[in-house]
Each structure stands twice: as structure tokens, then as C-alpha cells.
Amino acid sequence: MEVAGPASSGEITKATYDGAPPAIHPLAQSPLLAHLFKLEQEHVVAQTEVQWRLL
């Protein structure tokens, strides 16, 4: 998986589940967002408009 710099949750999902059928990407995005929100509370990532970035 490689996402360099800020990326949308859709881009992160696509990179994370690269080998999986694209049909599951919408289902996989929900738990990914839950993890991103947790990491945001821990000050590991930040959301800027529609993108996420590491702190």
C-alpha cells in the first residue's frame, strides 16, 4: 500500500484493498473511516477538507 501525502478516504481504501474486488471498497470504507476518526482523536492524523494527512 502506498499513499504519499494527503489522501481522501476513498484513495486510502483503494490503496489498502488494492488486491480486492472494487465492489467491496464501499463496504471497506466504513471501518477505515472509524479508524481514521480514532487516529484523529489520538492526534496521529488530521482531516483537511476531504483529505486525511499524517501529523
In a domain, 3, yes or no: no
Tell me the per-residue pLDDT of 1-51, one tens digit each, with 9 for 90 and over. Answer: 556 789 999 999 999 998 999 999 999 999 999 999 999 999 999 999 889
Confidence label for 55 from pLDDT (cuts 50, 70 and 90): confident
DSSP state for residue 12 in the 8-state scheme? H
Q: Is 46 part of a structural domain of the chain?
A: yes
* Residue 50 domain flag: yes
- Does 30 map to a domain? yes
Is 2 a member of any domain? Answer: no
Which residues are registered as beta bridge partners of 46? 53
Task: Give the chain's domain count.
Answer: 1
pTM above 0.85, yes or no: no
39 within some domain? yes
- Crossing angle for the helix pair 9-16 and 25-41, to the nearest 10 degrees: 110
**What is the extent of the structural domain holding 29?**
9-15+22-54
